[in-house]
Amino acid sequence: MGKSIRILPAILTRDPAELGKMVRLAESFTDCAQIDIMDEQFVPSKSVSCEDIAGLKIKLQWEAHLMVLRPEDCINDFKKAGAQKIVFHFEATPTPEKTILAIRKLGMQAGLAVNPETPLKAITALVKQVDSVLFLSVNPGFYGAEFIPEVLDKIVEFRRAYPQMEIGIDGGIKEKNISKIARSGVDVICVGSAIFRQPDPSASYNRLKALASSAIS
């Protein structure tokens, strides 16, 4: 197919000390990662804060996945902390267009995240304004949540409608399902517990990459 799929390690913790360990670990096997931020409002759980991230000297490129209400209120902080991209949830703000514009004005890429229950028609007007669309394949807010396979049908439909758009998927990805996920048409697969909660995270990352690549070769 001539296509490659990126595996993006997803860092999620509420412990600042563990954040530092996970970042250093990720730096040992990849040059790009996603850091998940949760506010205990948009989702039931809470994670580290932007201040915790800003205190680290992160060597790799990273994007912030904001699972927070009114993400527009903290975009400046994540820019200062060093994020190259902001991925925010369509469902988390009444003004997604303004949020995209604010991200762009700060020179960052903008990604739109979509919860499993949100229909594709709800985001149609925004697709051409963003750099990527991230489909949540779990109900967000819990590390290691159960994969929702119906999301793959949405991705297949979305890929047909937007063949050039960068599509990501996030949530519940394991070695047992990554081949099927890779064949759905995604470009980026965000993986958390199947990397960081394994005995050898680097080896798990490389196995997931190999499985995804072989699925589309």
- 36 catalytic? Reply is yes
- Residues across the chain: 217
Catalytic residue among 77, 170, 187, 200: 170
Buried b (16+ CB within 10 A) or exposed e, 128-138: eebbbbbbbbb
Q: Which residues contact 169 (CB under 8 A, 6 or more apart)?
A: 134, 135, 137, 151, 155, 181, 184, 186, 188, 189, 190
Rounded alpha-carbon distances, angstroms, from residue 112 to 82, 126, 194: 19, 8, 23
Question: Which tokens in the block code for residue 15?
Answer: 């412990």
Closest CA to 26 of 155, 211, 212, 205: 205
Which phi and psi (to 5°) does residue 133 adopt?
-125, 130
Task: Tell me how far apart the alpha carbons of residues 52 and 31 are, in angstroms, rounded to a whole number.
Answer: 20
Catalytic residue among 31, 36, 187, 200: 36
- 170 catalytic? Reply is yes
Task: Tell me how far apart the alpha carbons of residues 6 and 167 are, in angstroms, rounded to a whole number.
Answer: 11
Which residues are marked as active site? 36, 170
